[in-house]
Amino acid sequence: MKLFSVIIATLNRTDFLLATLKDIVAQEYISGFEIIIVDQSFKEDDIIQNFCKDYPFIHYHYITHFRGLPEARNYGAKHAKNPYLLFVDDDIQCESNLLKEHGKTLSKAHVAVVAGGVTEKYNTNNNESIGKFNKITATPFRGFHQKAYQEVDHVAGGNFSVKKEIFMKVGGFDENLSKGAALYEETDFCLRVKSAGFRIFFNGDAHIVHLAADTGGCRVPEIEKYIFSLARNRSIIIQRYLPWYFQVSAHLYLLKLVISYTIVYKSIAILGNYKAGKKEGEYIGKLKIKNEQL
């Protein structure tokens, strides 16, 4: 197995990131690894930098010239020295075998990307089709908490690995998807991987627990802005990857979702944000991907 570069994008989450780093530096992976932190916080993190001083294989990058999760991940991949990349969130817990399990699967010649296991600590973990992308509704099913080994359509963004050569070949993450809540950037990446003829496998033993920190990160608290991001980014996926007949059904499903949000939140403004997001997403879906930080 080859060396890993572990890439962690972070934003205003010192305590969570510190706990995550303590789990990563304890990895039992004999081939070796580096950790690349891409920090877009409001100010440089002295606590994290002091922690890094004891580990010369941790590289801390404080970034002010861009903002966004896809941008941060592309930047980390660009600066990675090793042939295997592992992307994890900044608010996870994992055992010491995480890299070993990823490497075990990624080292196989027919595997381009490994979807790792993810258990949400505070959210529902539904037993749905693991890593399945439903073309009729443009819905990426998760189910990554389940124990299995199988081929899948996509990954959970908080825990997946990829051969760097293939990551670069397909163009990395589309930075157009960083606007708002940064939804579906992993789905878009994986659909490009599959379109290029590569394969994605799920290894449930390469497992993390996602703590879902309630502060920091790229969440959008306002429901109207969230709906804009949902409609925009989902429309990009629909425009790029679905034939016209599935585009019709997927947009109807999206509208159904938006109407349900409108009813629950009793906000007619949601429909206006949906319309604007859908229009922008359909336009961007016709353009080439953006990867300026790669």
In order of start, what are the domains of the chain with their CATH numbers? Answer: 4-210 (3.90.550.10), 223-284 (no CATH)
pTM of the predicted model as reported, rounded to 2 decimal places:
0.95
What is the rounded distance in angstroms from the CA atom of residue 120 to the CA atom of residue 49?
A: 28
- The pLDDT assigned to 123 comes to 82
Cβ atoms < 10 Å from Cβ of 250: 23
Q: pLDDT for 184-226, tens place per residue?
A: 999 999 999 999 999 999 999 999 999 976 665 555 568 999 9
What is the rounded distance in angstroms from the CA atom of residue 156 to the CA atom of residue 143?
A: 9
What is the rounded distance in angstroms from the CA atom of residue 277 to the CA atom of residue 231?
A: 5
What is the rounded distance in angstroms from the CA atom of residue 293 to the CA atom of residue 70?
A: 9
Residues 73-95, mean pLDDT to the nearest whole number: 98
- The pLDDT assigned to 71 comes to 97
- The pLDDT assigned to 57 comes to 98
- The pLDDT assigned to 291 comes to 97
CB 186 within 8 A of CB 156: yes
Q: Which of 87-96, 119-128, 167-176 shows the lowest mean pLDDT across its residues?
A: 119-128
Q: How many alpha carbons lie under 13 Å from residue 217 in its C-beta half-sphere?
A: 21
What is the rounded distance in angstroms from the CA atom of residue 59 to the CA atom of residue 136?
A: 43
Exposed/middle/buried for residue 134 (C-beta within 10 Å: 0-12, 13-18, 19+): middle
- The pLDDT assigned to 212 comes to 79
Question: Is the pLDDT reported for residue 133 higher than 80?
Answer: yes
Instruction: Quote the tokens at residue 244.
Output: 């016209």
Cβ atoms < 10 Å from Cβ of 84: 25
Point out which residues pair with 210 in neighbouring strands.
92, 120
Q: What is the residue-averaged pLDDT of the chain?
A: 95
Q: Which of 105-109, 124-128, 247-251 shows the lowest mean pLDDT across its residues?
A: 124-128
The residue among 173, 146, 294 whose CA lies nearest residue 236 is: 173
Q: Which helix (H) or strand (E) holds 162?
A: strand 159-163
- The pLDDT assigned to 217 comes to 54
Question: Is the pLDDT reported for residue 98 higher than 60?
Answer: yes
- The pLDDT assigned to 177 comes to 95
What is the rounded distance in angstroms from the CA atom of residue 136 to the CA atom of residue 57?
A: 45
Q: pLDDT for 244-261, tens place per residue?
A: 999 999 999 999 999 999
Fill in the amino acid letter for 158: G
Residues 172-180, mean pLDDT to the nearest whole number: 91
Residues 132-140, mean pLDDT to the nearest whole number: 98
Measured in whole angstroms, how far is the alpha carbon of residue 211 from the centre of its chain?
15
Q: pLDDT for 37-64, tens place per residue?
A: 999 999 999 999 999 999 999 999 999 9
Residues 73-98, mean pLDDT to the nearest whole number: 98
- The pLDDT assigned to 220 comes to 56
- The pLDDT assigned to 214 comes to 66
